[in-house]
Structure 1
């Protein structure tokens, strides 16, 4: 599959955006009073899973974008 340069840039930026947004979201959930009651609550655990899955997917998407950019540079030569 060949990605356009524009698509590769978009995928890379999406992955970077994920790494800016989701850790901040986790910090906010961590500080929320609903997250802790003698240990982590279901509220916290559900959001933790959401953050982990989003970071894994964001990383995979960014890797695809970077690989597309590298391939487009090779094609340009």
Structure 2
């Protein structure tokens, strides 16, 4: 993962997104970088994330979790 110096963020090229800004991008096999940004990616999902993703995929929550998630149980 690339390290970013939080004190030097204003020196990074590009336009900084503000609170209500949006952006769009395309990710598909025709791009040379396809899947390079998200391989081996681990994200924590909230229940609402699971609901939105399973709805988009047209599968049940159980199937989504079985196919696409690893459950990690921790002491509270």
What interval of TM-score do these two structures reach, taking the shorter chain for normalisation?
Answer: under 0.3
Which structure shows the bigger proportion of residues in helix conformation?
Answer: 1
Q: TM-score, normalised by structure 1?
A: 0.23
Q: TM-score, normalised by structure 2?
A: 0.23
Larger RCO (alpha carbons 8 Å, 6+ apart): 1
